[in-house]
Amino acid sequence: MAYVLKRLAAAALVVFGTVTLVFLILYALPGDPASLIAGDDAPPAVIARIRIQLGADQPLWAQYLYYLHGLVTGDLGRSFLTGEPVFGRLAAQLPATLELTFLSAGVAIVLGVLLGVLSAVHRGDWIDNLIQTITMTFTSMPEFWRGILLILIFSVWLHWLPAIGNGDLAQLVLPVACMGVGHAGVLTRTVRNNVLEVIEEPFVATLRGKGLLEGAILYRHVLRSALIPVITTFGMLVSQMLGGVVVIETLFARQGLGRIIAESVGSKDIPMIQGAVLFAALLSVTITVLVDLSYRWIDPRITL
């Protein structure tokens, strides 16, 4: 319990530091939100009145304290452009982002473990070389380029899958493949390297001496011992996916937190950006804490 509380305290500090840094960066950017809301031809009196309504006429420290008070009370403010509550808009879009992220993570972990084990078992032969070449190729591609290739092949040329939109399972295939396949390459190399390392351990030779089959040794003992670094890498990749949804949701015209961030940055809708970053930070630290706590479940010998 002490370890859990310590990790939760560290996670809270990370979230606090993130929202503070984002607050300072956004308010340091050029441009006046009141001018954007009022329009180019608005008289100075109207702009000044909007600034007072937004609280932008207050000093930076006062705005920061007001923002922290809103976080503590659960009030993330209202959008500068639409006037709708930030929390309600983000909560409505969160399921789409979670669906995309966790399906992509599932694809990445399944492909990464299967291909990593297969590559380790066939170390040095053509299967190993083929897997490493393919995974390196996909991993080295930027996400937007992988997405464009998938749209070009499966939507434009073959007409198999829709390229944009939400709501239909078929509309998830291309964005999930774009994120999942790209991150599977990192997991594949991690699994391969760790399986090869564990295979050289003395306990594996002992198990072979007892007459256990290679398949039983590999899947019951070697793979479980090699999973700890894989889980660590997987947790980091999921956090990276949360950051990458801005590109994926924009490219595939999907609704979600990433799309909101992209649209809000263009219009300098500061409350909406801050709220979306807060949601993403909370998701990221939650995943990190769960990954840390999963170590003991995977290997009971580990002391938290």
Express each pLDDT in 20-69 by its tens digit: 888 888 777 666 677 767 666 777 777 778 777 777 777 778 888 888 88
Please check whether residue 169 lies inside any domain of the structure: yes
Residue 28's alpha-carbon distances to 14, 47, 250, 270, in angstroms, are 21, 19, 26, 11
Write out the residue range of the structural domain in which residue 147 sits.
92-298
Q: Is the pLDDT of residue 300 over 60?
A: no
One domain, residues 44 and 125: no
One domain, residues 62 and 178: no
Please check whether residue 155 lies inside any domain of the structure: yes
Please tell me the predicted confidence (pLDDT) of residue 51: 76
The identity of residue 59, as a single letter, is P
Please tell me the predicted confidence (pLDDT) of residue 55: 72
Please tell me the predicted confidence (pLDDT) of residue 31: 66
Q: Is the pLDDT of residue 155 over 60?
A: yes
Please check whether residue 78 lies inside any domain of the structure: no
Give me the residue label for tokens 């998701």: 283
Q: Is the pLDDT of residue 203 over 80?
A: no
Residue 227's alpha-carbon distances to 66, 78, 116, 296, in angstroms, are 45, 44, 11, 12
Q: What percent of the chain has pLDDT over 70?
A: 89
One domain, residues 60 and 98: no
Q: Which residues pair with 85 in a beta bridge?
A: 78
CB 199 within 8 A of CB 225: no
One domain, residues 171 and 34: no
The angle, 0 to 180 degrees and rounded to 10, between the axes of the packed helices 223-251 and 270-298 is 160
One domain, residues 141 and 288: yes
Burial class (CB in 10 A: 0-12, 13-18, 19+), 295: middle
Please check whether residue 23 lies inside any domain of the structure: yes
One domain, residues 62 and 144: no
Please check whether residue 259 lies inside any domain of the structure: yes
Burial class (CB in 10 A: 0-12, 13-18, 19+), 141: middle
Rounded average pLDDT over 269-286: 83
Please check whether residue 52 lies inside any domain of the structure: yes
Q: What percent of the chain has pLDDT over 90?
A: 0
Query: How many Å apart are CA 181 and CA 119, to the nearest integer?
Result: 16
The more confident residue out of 108 and 269 is 108
- Domain count along the chain: 2
One domain, residues 57 and 96: no
Q: Is the pLDDT of residue 1 over 70?
A: no
One domain, residues 36 and 130: no
CATH number at residue 185: 1.10.3720.10
Q: Is the pLDDT of residue 301 over 70?
A: no
One domain, residues 178 and 206: yes
Please tell me the predicted confidence (pLDDT) of residue 299: 59
Q: Is the pLDDT of residue 127 over 70?
A: yes
One domain, residues 117 and 250: yes
Query: How many Å apart are CA 104 and CA 110, to the nearest integer?
Result: 10
Q: Is the pLDDT of residue 3 over 70?
A: no
The predicted model scores a pTM of 0.79
One domain, residues 286 and 238: yes
Please tell me the predicted confidence (pLDDT) of residue 253: 83
Please tell me the predicted confidence (pLDDT) of residue 302: 57
Tell me: the pLDDT tens digits for 217-274? 777 767 777 777 777 777 777 877 877 788 888 888 888 888 888 888 777 788 888 8
Q: Is the pLDDT of residue 115 over 80?
A: yes
Q: Is the pLDDT of residue 303 over 60?
A: no
Query: How many Å apart are CA 219 and CA 225, to the nearest integer?
Result: 10
Query: How many Å apart are CA 244 and CA 246, to the nearest integer?
Result: 5
Rounded average pLDDT over 132-137: 86
Please tell me the predicted confidence (pLDDT) of residue 120: 84
One domain, residues 65 and 28: yes
The angle, 0 to 180 degrees and rounded to 10, between the axes of the packed helices 86-121 and 223-251 is 130
Rounded average pLDDT over 64-79: 82
Please tell me the predicted confidence (pLDDT) of residue 297: 64
Q: Which residues pair with 78 in a beta bridge?
A: 85
